[in-house]
Amino acid sequence: MKRFSSVLPVVLVALAFMFGMTSLAMATQIVYRTPKQMGEQASLVVQGKVTSVRSFWNERRTKIFTETFVQIDEAYKGTNPGSVRIIQLGGTVGKIKVTVAGALQWRPGEEVLLFLEEATPDAYHVSGFSQGKFSVERDPVTGEAFVRRPALEGAEVLGAPPSEEPMTTSRVVKVPLTQFIDDALSRR
């Protein structure tokens, strides 16, 4: 009994280490893309407001997706479609939750700048997995729009320059929207 009680802590530490390493190996890895790269590759670059968010099962009930609708105020690249439907893997339906590390969170009413790529004839996905979504904030006095990239929680960004790594909420940088669009779409 004494031998068992002295071996047990070692086994528990080893198991904790193994499970800790497993969770790190299962983290979502995203290849870093600059706004300019996303601007070149996106079929649509738009600014607008999230109008609705809902999660649903696919037809075979094997995957959960989240569907987000955004009312478009301005299209910087592509034709303004009025609104867009964005699909991403993961979400919650009833008591079932599928989590994808690094997946975007959406809030009805939030203002966003999006770099989008066509996923299906009636839906888009955000460029660079989650990197192509930027929050739009307005100066309360002047109304000037600024953008900032949300933190990619639970994702490992590969190839990011030191100034962009890690993308966490503690180092959020706001940039004027017009300057950001000019730089991303090479308008200067």
Residue 5 inside a domain? The answer is no
pLDDT digits 0-9 by tens, 35-51:
999 999 999 999 999 99
Helix or strand holding residue 18 (H, E): helix 2-25
Domain count, the chain: 1
Instruction: Assess contact for 148 and 173: CB atoms under 8 A.
Output: yes
Residue 14 inside a domain? The answer is no
**Measured between alpha carbons, how far is 40 from 161 in angstroms, rounded to an integer?**
19
Task: Give the range of the structural domain holding residue 121, as residue numbers without chain letter.
Answer: 28-184
Least confident of 15-19, 38-42, 123-127, 144-148: 15-19
Q: What is the pTM of this model?
A: 0.78
Residue 49 inside a domain? The answer is yes
Residue 40 inside a domain? The answer is yes
Instruction: Assess contact for 77 and 185: CB atoms under 8 A.
Output: yes
Q: What is the mean pLDDT of the chain?
A: 82
Give the CATH number for residue 154.
Answer: 2.40.50
pLDDT digits 0-9 by tens, 69-110:
999 999 999 999 999 999 999 999 999 999 988 789 999 999
Q: Nearest-5° angle of CA 177, CA 82, CA 141? A: 35
- In this prediction, residue 151 has a pLDDT band, given cuts at 50, 70 and 90, of low
In one-letter notation, the amino acid at residue 135 is S
